[in-house]
């Protein structure tokens, strides 16, 4: 199901690009520019997507059931 959820938008984008380039642009140069622009945007978003995850950062909360970690953190808080 997850694969289909990822695959369907990609196929729709491909079909939309084909339909637009076939029926809107009648000369080869404009088709090349349009398809190249769509490909460039797709490549930049794929290469840039890991950066969104890296710059977002994560905050880890201590595990309530891990007594050793909670004691060490409480000692650090008391010392400060």
- Residues 41-60 pLDDT 10s: 989 988 988 887 776 666 66
Ordered by start, the domain boundaries in the chain are: 1-54
d(CA 9, CA 2): 12
Instruction: Output the pTM of the full model.
Output: 0.57
Average pLDDT (2-8) is 90
- Residues 24-33 pLDDT 10s: 998 999 999 9
Query: What is the enclosing helix (H) or strand (E) of 61?
Result: none
d(CA 55, CA 51): 6
- Residues 56-75 pLDDT 10s: 666 666 556 666 655 555 55
């Amino acid at each position: 199901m997850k694969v289909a959820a990822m695959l369907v938008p990609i196929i729709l984008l491909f079909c939309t690009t084909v339909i637009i380039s076939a029926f809107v642009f009648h000369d080869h140069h404009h088709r090349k520019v349009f398809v190249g622009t769509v490909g460039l945007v797709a490549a930049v978003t794929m290469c840039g997507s890991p950066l969104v995850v890296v710059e977002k950062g994560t905050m880890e909360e201590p595990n309530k059931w891990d007594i050793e970690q909670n004691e060490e953190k409480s000692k650090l808080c008391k010392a400060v």
